[in-house]
A and B are shown apart, each in its own frame.
Chain A
Amino acid sequence: MSVPTLTFVIVGQEDHPIYEVDLTGPKEQQTQYLHQFVLHSSLDAVDEQMWTSKEPHLKVVDRFNGLQVTAFVTAGNTRFLLLHDGRSDDAIRAFFTEVYDLYLRVMLNPFHTPTTRITSREFDRKVKLLAKRLIG
């Protein structure tokens, strides 16, 4: 596909999405649904890799039609998933590390329940800024 693809999802402990953002700007409905579907179906693949590896950074876990899903798993079983079309692994690692830092700050907020969606606009803004800076 010539259209650049970059969708980021944070999945919580109960396997529900806590945060979703489309990092390349607005898209039409069909592709949005497709991206969501691919990301959620890749959760099984993430689980498989989680059981065998000790590294929080998992490399590409799933592929679909030229799109790839890279994952990062935290100790509390929260998964960060990135749907992309073949970006550099190092850039994605750096992105995940920075987002993990932001995510920790949100989690440390006593007014935020760990199982609800992250609705902070600051978080949203910073994630988009990071994506633009690190992944392009």
Chain B
Amino acid sequence: MQKPLAPSPAPGTGPTPAKKPTRRCAEVCLELLCVECVRLFHDKQSGPAAAAALEAIGYRVGQQLVERYTRDKPLLGDTLEIIKFVCKDFWQALFKKQVDNLKTNHRGVYVLQDNGFRWLQRLAGPPPPGAGAGADPGREEAARQLALRYLHLPCGLVRGALGHLGVACTVEADPKQLPSCTFTVRIT
């Protein structure tokens, strides 16, 4: 994400009275950092411990980011408004698009669907059909498992953001069809 380092939420919104130009960072640096982070934690610890560590990192970062992005916005009222804020402003700032679909069962479960999750774009999907019908489900499953590793960090981000705004919840990710992905938020 090309975020300027000064704490203003929307980069490039009209002339700002800045004394020096805001410094920016190339997006590829963030992508490489995330990939390396996942690799490091999965090398040092195995399975659930690595996932928990990545989620904890995401949680802390989510808290800080949401503190920053709610800066000049009006106060949010109930849970639905908070989720909508995460779907729109938070997602826009982090992934340069809004969440494509939001579903709820009005009983504390929200499903956020993103067709084209930015951080999964670079992950190679399964080969197109015609390369061997029998191998396809296996490869798709393997690709799903691989994608799941990279989704612990975004899950933590969402959980941290919601937690800081007062909504305690658990977040699970489901990469159904790369690169689209659904996040299920269950309010605790």
Contact = CB atoms under 8 A, between A and B. Distances in A.
Nearest to B57: A110
Interface stretch (A32-40, A51-59, A84-92, A118-126): A51-59
Contacts of B60: 110
B166 A54 contact: no
A54 B7 CA distance: 22
- The interface residues of chain A, by DSSP majority, are classed as loop
Contacts of B164: 13, 76, 114
Interface stretch (A2-10, A15-23, A62-70, A100-108): A100-108
B71 A54 contact: no
Nearest to A108: B64
A76 B74 contact: no
Contacts, number: 47
A109 B70 CA distance: 17
Contact of A74 (B7, B67, B77): B67
A1 interface: no
Contacts of A54: 74-75, 77
Contacts of A107: 64, 67-68
Interface string B48-82: 00000000000010011011101101111100000
A75 B67 contact: yes
Interface residues of A, number: 19
B144 to A, nearest CB: 32
A110 B160 CA distance: 14
Contacts of B77: 54
Sorting the interface of chain B by its residue count into under 10, 10 to 19, 20 to 34 or 35 or more gives: 10 to 19
A54 B165 CA distance: 14
A108 B68 contact: yes
A50 B66 CA distance: 19
Contacts of A76: 63, 66-67, 70, 164-165
B13 to A, nearest CB: 17
B7 A75 contact: no
A51 to B, nearest CB: 8
A74 B69 CA distance: 11
A100 B74 CA distance: 14
Contact of B74 (A55, A77, A110): A55
A50 B75 CA distance: 8
B165 A104 contact: no
Nearest to A56: B75
A74 B77 CA distance: 12
A73 interface: yes
A92 B102 CA distance: 40
A98 to B, nearest CB: 13
A15 to B, nearest CB: 13
A56 B75 CA distance: 6
27 contacts: A13-B166, A54-B75, A54-B77, A56-B75, A74-B67, A75-B67, A75-B70, A75-B73, A75-B76, A76-B63, A76-B66, A76-B165, A77-B165, A77-B166, A101-B7, A104-B7, A104-B68, A104-B71, A105-B7, A107-B64, A107-B67, A108-B7, A108-B64, A108-B68, A110-B64, A114-B63, A114-B164
